[in-house]
Every structure is written in structure tokens, then in C-alpha cells.
Amino acid sequence: MQDSLSRPSVLGARMSVIGRSFGAKTLLAAAMVFASAAFATAAPLVTPTPVLSEDLQQQLSDIFGEGEGAYLQRETMRYVEAALVRRGAIDAVDADGAVTVEITIVRATPNRPTMTQLRETPGLSMQSISLGGAEFIAVIRDSAGAERARVTHEHFSRDIEDAVGMSVWGDARIAMRGFARKVAEAYAAIG
């Protein structure tokens, strides 16, 4: 079964996702970036759905619930694409073909129990907290498939007090924002 998460996305086709996440002014600014980029360069930016590492897939299957993987992939894409739009990095696209950003979610740990954990582990509640976070790797490739840049980023809580007030994937989302910023900066630098 192929769903929307298993297909590569071209940034222009993802405007509806970005539009739901940001206000109308941001959507208009993003549309202008896309429009100016369409005239400035002939090549699209392709961002395939992030890959989950084998260890993370196993954790999702055994502990957190497989549906959480789709959530992590979707949110990572949303943050990376929004950062690329904000940075104007789309102008750095290689004129000879598509530039691809390949993303791997290496590790991810929730701050609060997932629905699967709540169902399967007596004694857990949404008041339960833990140290959470995530680790990512991105490889930016030119149209020939050559690696142009590699980005790594991780963020994990260091103190249990940092997790107070966090949502289920709160620290993972902090990691996504930092990772997305680094990807956009690396992408802009290869231009």
C-alpha cells in the first residue's frame, strides 16, 4: 500500500500542509518564494519521506506504536520544508536537475507515553514524564546523486525538569526545529 508518506514530495506540492501550519501572511510569502524560484531555476527540490532507522523501527513496533513513526516522518517533513521556505534556500537549487534532501530519523524518544504505551502498560498515565528527544541525519545530493552536504543534529532532555509541561513528542519537535534550520542553512550554502 502506498500512501502519501511513501511518495517523494516536491516542495510546490506541499503548500497545503505548510498553509495549515502557518498564517495567511506566511502562506503568501511562501507562495512568492515558490513563484520567484520557479522563474529563477528549472530544477525542483525533492524531499522524499524521511527514513526511520532500523533501531527506531524496532522501538516503534515493540514499544511506542507504529503509527508514531508516520507522525515523526510527517512532522520532520513539515519542519524541514518550512525552514527551506523561510530561508529562501529554494533559490540554491542546482540548475542542471533536482537537488534531493534525504532524511533519516535515527532515534526518537517521547517525553510522555504514546497511546500504545498507555494501552499496554498499566500504571502509565499522561502525567508520566521521561527524557525525550530525537537525532537526525540529512544528506543533500545534486542531480547526479553526488553528496553535496551532510547534516546531523540531535537534541535530548538532560534533566527530568526539562520534560515537565512537554507534550508526547515535545523534545523531538525541538530537535526537528534545530535540524530543519541546519538543513536549510546547508542547502543554501551549496548554491
Sketch the domain layout of the chain as residue ranges: 9-189
Q: Tell me whether strands 99-109 and 45-47 are parallel, antiparallel or unpaired.
A: parallel
pLDDT at 37: 40
pLDDT at 97: 61
Place of cell 502562506: 27
Question: If DSSP codes are grouped into helix, strand and coil, which group holds residue 169?
Answer: coil
pLDDT at 189: 87
List, in sequence order, every beta strand (DSSP E) within 110-167: 133-141, 147-156
User: pLDDT, tens digit, for every residue of 33-84?
Assistant: 443 343 333 345 677 889 999 999 999 999 999 999 999 999 999 999 999 8
Percentage of the chain lying above the pLDDT 90 cut: 56
Cα-based distances in Å from 132 to 41, 44, 164: 40, 35, 11
Cα-based distances in Å from 81 to 71, 99, 147, 180: 15, 14, 19, 8
Higher pLDDT, 128 or 19: 128
pLDDT at 42: 32
Place of cell 524531499: 47
pLDDT at 108: 98
> Mean pLDDT throughout 124-130?
92
- Cell numbers of 138, please? 540529512
Least confident span in 3-7, 111-115, 148-152, 158-162: 3-7
Percentage of the chain lying above the pLDDT 70 cut: 71
Closest by alpha carbon to 168, among 78, 96, 75? 75
Mean pLDDT of the chain: 79
pLDDT at 44: 56
pLDDT at 165: 86
* Type of residue at 6: S
**What separation, in Å, do the N-terminal and C-terminal C-alpha atoms of the chain show?**
37
- Beta-bridge partner residues of 156: 133
Distance, in Å, from the CA atom of 97 to the CA atom of 149, rounded to the nearest integer, reads 16
HSE, side-chain direction, 13 A CA sphere, residue 41 = 19
User: pLDDT, tens digit, for every residue of 6-42?
Assistant: 444 444 333 333 333 344 444 334 443 443 343 333 3
pLDDT at 93: 45
Question: If DSSP codes are grouped into helix, strand and coil, which group holds residue 9?
Answer: strand
